[in-house]
Amino acid sequence: MKLIKRHYGWIKDQEVIEYHLVNNQGATFKCLNYGAIVTAILVPDKNKSLENVVLSFDQLSDYLTYPTYFGALIGRVAGRIRKGQWLDHQLTLNEGKHHIHGGEPNFSHLLWETKEITNQADTVGIQFSHRSPAGENGYPGNLVTTVTYFWTNNQTWIMTIEAQTDERTLFNPTNHTYFNLSGETKRTIETHQLQISSEVYAEIDDEKCPTGRLLAVKDTAYDFTQPTSLQKALKKNPKGYDTPFKLQEGKVVLTEQESGRKLEIETTRESVVVFSTTGMEEDYLVNGKKMCSHLGLALEMQELPDAVHHRQFQSIILEPDKPHSSQTSYHFSV
């Protein structure tokens, strides 16, 4: 296992570093100290060809210009909070009349403090830390967040998140990586199969805010309890997915038959938000090609969005005497 540091660019007078975590088979996990962004995950296909299986830009200026959140850490709170309201706190409104992804700037816009972890035989890692001051984007409490990305010898990315506050506040972060297991985006996600250990999904309204209703997936376009072709699912649901699923066992599996690649996700979080990039016909380049609809699939592990307005959702309130601790693992195989 080895860790390589490379200069990636500058933000004013601060250097942006790309970290390459390389295992003994050459499989490589790349990330930045800016936004804790995952810039590439190179893993083998069934023919042992190493290719990138996430959406990423080629240069720092694109990450600064386009609000895609490719690979970024999102927080303090992922997703939308209706009207930016929590008790008597007014959060910043950065999506019309709603608050989204922690406001601006959020975790994805930060240069994080980093620490290299290289003292383990089968694992190498980067630890990111940040102190968010009370009042930032309207949130109470000084919040200290530590996020660690580990990369292992068996092609597993392990993400741990820890946080503590000195005042009651909200905390519901996620990582916003978009996956495409075909490798180098040779094909769209329509060639993939998706399985989610979920029997209910959270209904959302026309503004993409949860209504509070948890609906059964059975016999709907939201049923991924068995491996399901995304091509067929998207035909049933042509508007695409930006959908929270409440997890039963904390498991999600994504496969792509032609490459032979398989991604197994296990998490301690309550839910996964599935975003299918439907309709994202854009002018910018991703992995060297024009961004198009269904080029990637975001699988965002978090608690259900807008939980502060729905008592039946798991609480995202963080108390001073109860620190947050969670873990998600992404295992790649063929």
Question: How far, CA to CA in Å, does 230 sit from each of 221, 275, 280?
Answer: 10, 12, 16
Within the chain, residue ranges assigned H as helices are: 60-65, 230-236
Contact yes or no for 134/141 (Cβ under 8 A) = yes
User: Which tokens sit at 103?
Assistant: 């406001």
Select which of 176, 192, 266, 294 is catalytic.
176
Nearest residue to 245 via CA among 219, 271, 216, 210: 271
Tokens 């297991």 map to which residue?
181
User: Which tokens sit at 126?
Assistant: 């980067």
- Sign, CA dihedral 120-125-131-135, equals negative
300 classed as catalytic: yes
User: Which tokens sit at 67?
Assistant: 């609000």
Select which of 18, 256, 300, 303 is catalytic.
300
Q: Which amino acid is at 287?
A: N
- In degrees, to the nearest 5, what angle opens at C-alpha 84 toward C-alphas 314 and 176? 60
- Sign, CA dihedral 293-297-298-302, equals positive
Region for residue 37 given its phi and psi (left: phi exceeds 0; alpha: psi -120 to 50; beta: otherwise)? beta
Nearest residue to 158 via CA among 146, 167, 166, 149: 149
The neighbour count for residue 216, using CB atoms within 10 Å, is 11
290, β-bridge pairs: 285
Q: Determine the Cα–Cα distance for residues 294 and 296; give it in Å rounded to an integer.
A: 5
Which residues are tagged catalytic?
176, 300
